[in-house]
Every structure is written in structure tokens, then in C-alpha cells.
Amino acid sequence: MMSENMKILVTGANGYIGKHVVTKLCDMGHNVLALDFKNDNIDSRSKFITYDVLAHAQDLDLYTRLESPDIVIHMAWKDGFNHNSVAHLEYLSHHFAFIKNMIDSGIKSISIMGTMHEVGYYEGAIDENTPCNPLSLYGIAKNALRQAVLSYAEGKNAQIKWLRAYYITGDDAHNKSIFAKILQMANDGKTTFPFTSGLNKYDFIDVDLLAEYIAKASIQNEINGIINVCSGQPVSLKEKVGNFIKEKGLNIKPEYGVYPARKYDSPAIWGKNNKIQQIIRIK
């Protein structure tokens, strides 16, 4: 069942995904507490809170300082676009301490953003039982956080939703994906750009639809654990890039095969989305 008129805290609310989630929750009529350091992209219908929850993750009054939310959606994450930043490991214990604090304070539902990079090199469809062997510091940190949180929450009265995202597109001026780079290169007057083979297949989802999935998964109380917030369909990067250039009417072409794939880029990887499909049907 979907909860109505809840007080929902969203950390990382001014981020690439977070701002879309805040808007979706506001559209649904919830009381949204948007937490971040800046609010230039946050929906004005939410209440903006600026506070460093990671620096104060163990404060005993943190839950009340954050206005005692019913649900927490934890999306704050430093250097999310830089997969080998040491910040992923430096802040890991702070993320765990914050979530532990919320569980100990009596929060009944916590959603946390995960990533396909927890899995590492893998070919095929991913579900909640797929073994993980992450190959980047980002994936290692996210994987460790998931394991720690799910272990700590076991036996406690808190629902944990680990929302595993895949390859996100849309709102391309505000992300650091290949699509944002293509836009920038086209705006700079370039007509070609070096690229990989483009043959790798990924699970692409527009950030607006992803935000809807995150919001709906977070406010329901029937399905927990690892939830793939994805399309469930593998599409080649070459096809996706070609369609993007065509849709945007850009005068630029990729030079395929110039760069090798990263060691953790699987030939084909996508998520099984049966859980999120069940969730969007919940009334």
C-alpha cells in the first residue's frame, strides 16, 4: 500500500537525481524536507534544510533536528560521477552512521540509492541475488554500505529499500554522462569525437522516470530489500548515442573504436525490474 501525506526527508536533494525526486514527491502531495548545501535546483514546494548530516551522523538529536521525518530517502553522495575518488571510502562510515542513527531513532522506512557498479563485471540480467564483485571505489563503497545496512537492520523494525540504479539519461545539461559531453562538444563546434566501440549494452532510464520509481518505491510498505529501479531492457551504447544525436539534431558523429572499454564495463548488463513493476501497480 502507498502511504499518503508523509513527511519525507530527501538528502542530496539538490543533486542530479535528487531534485527530480523532490518534485515527484511534491506532486504526490507529500511534505518534503529537502536537505542539501544549496537549493538553486530544488522545488520551492519543499522545505529546504541545510545541514551536514554526515559530519553530525552520530549526534543523538539528529532525528529531531531533521524535523522527525516519517521516511528518509538517502541520496547524498560525494563524487558520484568520479568512480575512483577516494572520497567514496573516506565517507563510507559516515553514511553508515547516519543511517544507523535514523534506524535507532525509530524511522520505519529508509530508501538508499545503490548502483549497478556494486556488481562489477557481469554479463546478463541482475537481480537481488546476483553476486557482487565491484571493481571501482564507488562500487566497493556502495556495496559495503548495502551489506552493512541490511545486516544492521535485520531484526529491527525498519524497512530498508536499496534502490539500485543503472545508466541514467535525461536532463543532460546537469549530469556528467557521455550524453552531456556530446552536447558540450557539439556546442563547442566539434563535428566528431573519439569513442569506444559502443557495442556494450546497458539498462538506460530517463531521470524523470527514475525519480518516479524512487518516489513510489520509497512510499510503499510491501516490497523491501534490493529493488532495481530500471527499464529492464539492454540497449547498445552505440544505438543510444546515435538516437540521442538524431533527436537533438546535432551535427556531430562518434569515431567508434578509438577508446577501449573500462575493465568493469560489461558486454551486456541490465536489471530485472519485476519488483519495481509490482510497486508501480500498488494503490
Catalytic residues: 138
Burial 62-92 (b: 16+ CB within 10 A, else e): bbeebeebbbbbbbbbeebeebebeebeebb
Task: Tell me the residue type at 247.
Answer: E
Backbone torsions φ then ψ of 154, nearest 5 degrees: -60, 125
Q: How far apart are CA 96 and CA 76, in angstroms?
A: 12
Q: How far apart are CA 216 and CA 153, in angstroms?
A: 21
Q: How far apart are CA 53 and CA 9, in angstroms?
A: 12
Which residue shows C-alpha cell 552531456? 180
Note whether 33 and 10 are within 8 A (CB): yes
Task: Tell me the residue type at 251.
Answer: N
Burial 271-283 (b: 16+ CB within 10 A, else e): bbbebbeebeeee
Q: How far apart are CA 219 and CA 229, in angstroms?
A: 14
Which residue shows C-alpha cell 563503497? 141
Q: How far apart are CA 182 and CA 58, in angstroms?
A: 42
Report residue 208 as a C-alpha cell.
Answer: 524523470
Report residue 43 as a C-alpha cell.
Answer: 522545488
